[in-house]
Structure 1
Amino acid sequence: MQKHIIYPILIAALGIAIVSCNQTNTGQKNSGALGYDTTITGTVTAELTDAPLVPKPLEYTSPKRVIVKLEVIEKVMKIADSTDYTFWTFGGKVPGKFIRVRQGDLVDFTLINMPDSKLPHNIDLHAVNGPGGGAAVTLIAPGQSKRFQFRALNPGLYVYHCATGPVGMHIANGMYGLILVEPQSGMKKVDKEYYIMQGDFYTVNKFGAKGLQEFDMEKAIREDADYVLFNGRVNANAGANAMPAEINETVRLYVGNGGPNLTSSFHVIGEIFDKVFIEGGATENNNVQTTTIPAGGSAIVEMKMDVPGTYHIVDHAIFRTFHKGALAQIKVGGEEIPEIFGKLEVEE
């Protein structure tokens, strides 16, 4: 009876070993299981950007080994003009760095927890096909680093976040970002690309209270957010920090929702999304007014800017905009076009 049990286990173990060997032999041409040539043709270092900036579109067309190094940094930053908060970050900002790779790439990923951090952290990338999305192999104490690799199999826009317990607390303190896996054919060229990520924050005191604010676990459990923000701060990309564009330009927004709790009703006042790639995937919807983005989800939206002016980006669960900070802006320059939009005199 024991032989019947042991033999399948040995065979399974050998199978795992064979698969592992095949995966590490990246120089061998392989166009079988994935339906395209997965031969690694070189090594590149990923360009990583802070919101609202996006890395340049990728120019290569064959799979590369892509080097990504991401630092975990715990730091006090402004959550509002007179309000500080201790954020936990990927790369020193909220949201974390935008990562851009291509379908078929082999991503060589290193996570570094800075020595002055107080807590262990890890990362779960929703773009990963593998247990935990990388979380189990990247758990690191302060001062440590860990490295793993994954093949970017599925094109789309994916959230990444910390998955160290209590998971909700790590996410609520700002540990999330986006990774774009371009399709093999690349992304269609547009005039402007921007990175926006929504998150909900929970503080002991109410919205706008001055000074350093502490995280409130009870409010987080009740999903009673004090702040709902785009890019980690009140007016992070509004007013003088509005994202620029010109009339007749097509603007593409890579939008994520870190949560940890709230669903976003993402809307741009005065614009209609010409295209929405629903939940960051391949399904395209057209002529959309408001798109739903779940916590831990994303969307890619595109719109042609027809007339000049300031366009307000909001969560159309509208109290979040007027009372909790969910506002960003696109400032569009150019000449007025009355045939599309303009004032008329009142007829007597």
Structure 2
Amino acid sequence: MLNYSKGKIYKAWTFNGQAPGPLIVVNEGDTLHFTLKNMDPAMPHSMDFHAVHASPSKDFADVMPNKSGTFTYPANNPGVFMYHCGTKPVLAHIANGMHGMIIVKPKSGYPTDKEVDREFVLIQNEWYKYNDMDDFQNGVPSYVVFSTKALKAGDRNTNGDTFTLKEKPLVAKVGDKVRIYIENVGPNEVSSFHVVGTVLDDVYIDGNPNNHLKGLQTVMLPASGGAVVEFTVTRPGSYSIVSHQFNQAQKGAVAILKVTETGEDDGAETNGH
């Protein structure tokens, strides 16, 4: 059961009890050895990694209830990718919560690595009426939300909700260059990713260092699209991180980055969109 808005509960379908699922981080050139243990007694599930070259009919095959399947594939393309259950109907499995992010770190890094002071992960997803295929197909999301996942020990893991990253914001120090790994797992909406109060100095579309753009105000993320975005925070205050499709922000797609002189949360109330 997932509390996705104050007083609102969703009986999510999950990987490892999280929605979005756990962050996976590997290095370019690694081989993934992945085992899916299907603890659902009623239906098959599977795993579709956008980060790999594979035979979908074999490597993303359904795993039957109460069974396990092990799959192996190379991760040769650097970037920020989506993973999700690929069992029919795929829309239902993604919309009910079976999605997440995999980062394949580039072998030679990013050209801006030495400039970055802090790193965070953000994932955008949508919530609809519970397990309602008509709403999934023809409706609009009731909520559009952000979550964060742990890149290192001590970082937070949150589920996709409308309130956690406002009440307990991300924190940075005045002068920091901040990197965010961002993924829009959809399943249906495009995201217009924007950080209020700054300019995106460096952007790597889909997290690939070859796709390097500079000086953007907003990054368009299709459903399943990702990016690495970097920006500098020059003054203390509350920086809203939003989808600039403001109907989505109104439905919950807002996180707060609190910037202080010390880089610690000073306990002051945050203000944001």
Q: TM-score range by the shorter chain?
A: 0.7 to 0.9
Once residues 58 and 198 of structure 2 are traced to their aligned partners in structure 1, the CA distance between those partners, rounded to angstroms, is 38
Verify: 1:200 aligned to 2:126, yes or no.
Answer: yes
Counterpart selection for 2:10 from 77, 85, 92: 85
Once residues 170 and 181 of structure 2 are traced to their aligned partners in structure 1, the CA distance between those partners, rounded to angstroms, is 13
Is the 2:83–2:100 Cα contact (8 Å) retained in structure 1? yes
Q: What TM-score do you get using the length of structure 2 for normalisation?
A: 0.85
SS at match of 1:196: strand
Give the fraction of aligned pairs with identical amino acids, expressed as a percent: 40
* Structure-2 change in CA distance of 1:156 and 1:150 (3 Å): same
RMSD in angstroms over aligned alpha carbons? 1.7
Task: Report the AA paired with residue 221 of structure 1.
Answer: Q
Is the 1:89–1:175 Cα contact (8 Å) retained in structure 2? yes
Instruction: Give deviations 1:292-316, integer Å, cap 9, x for gaps.
Output: 0000111110111111111111111
Q: What TM-score do you get using the length of structure 1 for normalisation?
A: 0.67
* Structure-2 change in CA distance of 1:100 and 1:83 (3 Å): same
Is the 2:95–2:127 Cα contact (8 Å) retained in structure 1? yes
Once residues 117 and 333 of structure 1 are traced to their aligned partners in structure 2, the CA distance between those partners, rounded to angstroms, is 49
Aligned to 1:182: 105
Aligned to 2:181: 254
Q: Which has the higher helix share?
A: 1
Aligned to 2:131: 215
Structure with the bigger RCO (C-alpha within 8 Å, sep 6+) is 2
* Structure-2 change in CA distance of 1:327 and 1:153 (3 Å): same
Once residues 142 and 237 of structure 1 are traced to their aligned partners in structure 2, the CA distance between those partners, rounded to angstroms, is 35
Once residues 102 and 268 of structure 1 are traced to their aligned partners in structure 2, the CA distance between those partners, rounded to angstroms, is 28
**1:135 CA displacement:** 5.2
Once residues 159 and 317 of structure 1 are traced to their aligned partners in structure 2, the CA distance between those partners, rounded to angstroms, is 21
Aligned to 1:73: none
User: Which ranges in structure 2 are unaligned for 5 or more consecutive residues?
Assistant: 148-159, 263-273
Aligned to 1:273: 200
**1:226 CA displacement:** 0.9
**1:146 CA displacement:** 1.0
SS at match of 1:266: strand
Task: Report the AA paired with residue 173 of structure 1.
Answer: N
Task: Report the AA paired with residue 56 of structure 2.
Answer: G
Aligned to 1:158: 81
**1:134 CA displacement:** 6.6
Verify: 1:130 aligned to 2:54, yes or no.
Answer: yes
Is the 1:107–1:151 Cα contact (8 Å) retained in structure 2? yes
Once residues 186 and 128 of structure 1 are traced to their aligned partners in structure 2, the CA distance between those partners, rounded to angstroms, is 19
Task: Report the AA paired with residue 141 of structure 2.
Answer: A
User: Which ranges in structure 1 are unaligned for 5 or more consecutive residues?
Assistant: 1-75, 204-213, 336-348
